[in-house]
Amino acid sequence: MTRRILIVTNPHRPESEVAGQVAARAFSDAGIEPTFDFDAGDTIESVMVLGGDGTMLRAAHLTNGSGAPLLGVNLGRVGFLAELERDDVTHACMRLSQGDYAVEERGTLEVTVIHADNTRETGWALNEVTVERANPRRTLELAIEVDGTPLSSFGCDGVIVATSTGSTAHAFSAGGPVMWPNVDALLFVPLAAHALFARPLVIGPSSFYAIEVAARSDAVAQVVLDGDRVVDVDRGGRIEVRRGEHRVTLARMDDAPFASRLVEKFSLPTDGWRGERAASRDSGNPAPERQG
C-alpha cells in the first residue's frame, strides 16, 4: 500500500509554500507520496502542517475523522500548537517518515446552536468557541447556565469557552488561566462583562455550559468556532457547549514538559532560578522537609 502524508500550508505566507515544496521533496526521497489535497475518506498516515496555530486549526478541521496525527512546524508567531520551529522542516520530515514520534490526544468542544425558531446547527472546536456581539457598537446581553442551572446574566462584549489547548489562545489574552493540556475541563471567560461576578470558570468534562442571547439584548450574536466558522444567533437563541466525543491527535517529537513550552513561547523570565534542591545541594545544606 502506498504511504501518503498530507502537507498543509498557509497560502498567505510565501515561506510556508516554499517549505511545503521542501517537505514534498523530502517525503518523495523517502519513498512516501506527498499530497497537498485531502477529501473525506482519503487514507493518509500523518499530516505535516507548515504555518502558525491558525494553519494547525485548519488542518485539524480539514482532516477531522481521519485519525492521522498532525505535526506542526511553526512558521507563524507564537505557534503554541506547533512542535518544531522553522529551521526543522527537513529533520521533521525524516522523523515523520520513520514514524519517530509520540502521539498526544487533545480534547475538543461540541457546540449546539438552538435558534429562536428551534432549528439547530452543530459544530466543534479544538481551541475555543466565542460568542461575540455582531455589532461592535452594541452591548450583548447574555444569560449563563451550568448543567441547566442559571448562574448569571450580564451585558458584555462576548464570552469564550475553551479547551485546555485553547487556554493559551484568546482566553489567555482575555485574562483566563493557563490550563495544562492533560486537564480535561472546559474553561469559560467573559469579555468585558458589566457585572461584579464575571470571573473565569472551570467545569469538569461531564458538565456543560449554556449561553442564551437575552430578548432585551441590544446586539445579536455570532458564534465563532476556532476563529473560522461563524454562526449567526438572534435574540432568544441558545448555545450549548460540552466536551466533544472525538479527539485530535498531535505528533510529538519533543519530550520537554509543558512548563518549558510556556517559558519558551512567552519568553518568561527564569534567569537566576536554580530550584530549591539544587541551591541546597550547592550550599551543602539539606533541603527543608515539606510539611503536610
Q: Which amino acid is at 131?
A: V
Catalytic residue among 53, 87, 88, 254: 53
DSSP 78-128: S-TT-SEEGGGHHHHHHHHHTT--EEEEE--EEEEEE-TTS-EEEEEESSE
Sign of the CA dihedral running 183, 102, 126, 242:
negative
DSSP 196-253: SS---EEE-TT-EEEEEE-TT-SS-EEEEETTTEEEEE-TT-EEEEEE-SS-EEEEE-
Strand partners of residue 70: 47, 250
Residues 109/161, Cβ–Cβ less than 8 Å: yes
Strand partners of residue 133: 221
Sign of the CA dihedral running 30, 18, 262, 81:
negative
Sign of the CA dihedral running 239, 242, 247, 251:
positive
Strand partners of residue 160: 130, 189
Strand partners of residue 161: 129, 188
> In angstroms, how far is the first alpha carbon of the chain from the final one?
58
To which residue does cell 499530497 refer?
Answer: 35
88 is catalytic: no
Q: How do 4-9 and 33-35 pair as beta strands?
A: parallel
To which residue does cell 491558525 refer?
Answer: 54
Catalytic residues: 53
